[in-house]
Chain A
Amino acid sequence: LAKTTQPISMDSYEGQEVNITCSHNNIATNDYITWYQQFPSQGPRFIIQGYKTKVTNEVASLFIPADRKSSTLSLPRVSLSDTAVYYCLVAPQGAAGNKLTFGGGTRVLVKP
């Protein structure tokens, strides 16, 4: 499974846009990029998944450049409740069996 690198932490303010970039230089052709959000004492929650270009849902957008060696999770107009740890994962779709490797994640602190 491809190794990922993310910033350890980021601070932001309410109403701002937060962009978290994840590096995955050895991503494989059949790998997809998935982001999870985790609040304290809860399990991670699936946010968004993509393969290339841009994916958007009601929560976030995911930007993936053509070489796919990095990806950026964009959280528009964050609120205090978006304070959490965000994990970037790279793994093949349709892979038999779950053995996802979570990295250290990015701790996002949203200030008032």
Chain B
Amino acid sequence: KAGVTQTPRYLIKTRGQQVTLSCSPISGHRSVSWYQQTPGQGLQFLFEYFSETQRNKGNFPGRFSGRQFSNSRSEMNVSTLELGDSALYLCASSPDGSQDYGYTFGSGTRLTVV
């Protein structure tokens, strides 16, 4: 079966711009979570969506937002980009959000802010 698909794979943006990243989970999975990975902070949880509702949220400013569609695809938006937002953004899908059988991650979107 197809894995988790994240688009685009690479993105270069200028400070102050906004960006939208997309994640298509495994078919049948209803939970999509987003993570930010940087060399300094490691993997940090951003938020989780389940059945189009945000269920959990990490400690990130309001510039980071997301949504989930009825087909479970999710988008993440970052507004007013800062240099520190440069990171690998990963999404993970699971059937119900529990970690009973592990989460399946996508390959990520590498965002560079210049």
The answer to whether A95 and B103 touch across the interface, beta carbons within 8 angstroms, is no
The answer to whether B107 and A44 touch across the interface, beta carbons within 8 angstroms, is no
Interface residues of B in 81-113 (CB under 8 A from A): 88, 90-92, 94, 97-108, 110
Contacts of A9 in B (CB 8 A): none
B42 within 8 A of A: yes
A42 and B33 contact, Cβ closer than 8 Å, known pairs A49-B102, A100-B45, A102-B42: no
Q: In the docked arrangement, what's the CA distance between A42 and B58, Å? A: 21
The answer to whether B90 and A97 touch across the interface, beta carbons within 8 angstroms, is no
A44 and B43 contact, Cβ closer than 8 Å, known pairs A34-B102, A98-B33, A99-B58: yes
Main secondary structure of the interface of A (DSSP, over half): loop
The answer to whether B42 and A98 touch across the interface, beta carbons within 8 angstroms, is no
B48 within 8 A of A: yes
A65 within 8 A of B: no
A95 and B42 contact, Cβ closer than 8 Å, known pairs A43-B4, A46-B103: no
A interface size (C-beta, 8 A): 26
The answer to whether A98 and B99 touch across the interface, beta carbons within 8 angstroms, is yes
Contacts of B72 in A (CB 8 A): none
The answer to whether A41 and B48 touch across the interface, beta carbons within 8 angstroms, is no
B55 within 8 A of A: yes
The answer to whether B103 and A98 touch across the interface, beta carbons within 8 angstroms, is yes
The answer to whether A98 and B105 touch across the interface, beta carbons within 8 angstroms, is no
Cβ distance A98 to chain B, nearest Cβ, rounded Å: 4
A7 within 8 A of B: no
Contacts of B91 in A (CB 8 A): 43
Further pairs besides A43-B107, A102-B42: 10, Cβ < 8 Å: A41-B88, A42-B107, A43-B4, A49-B99, A93-B100, A97-B56, A98-B33, A98-B48, A98-B94, A100-B103
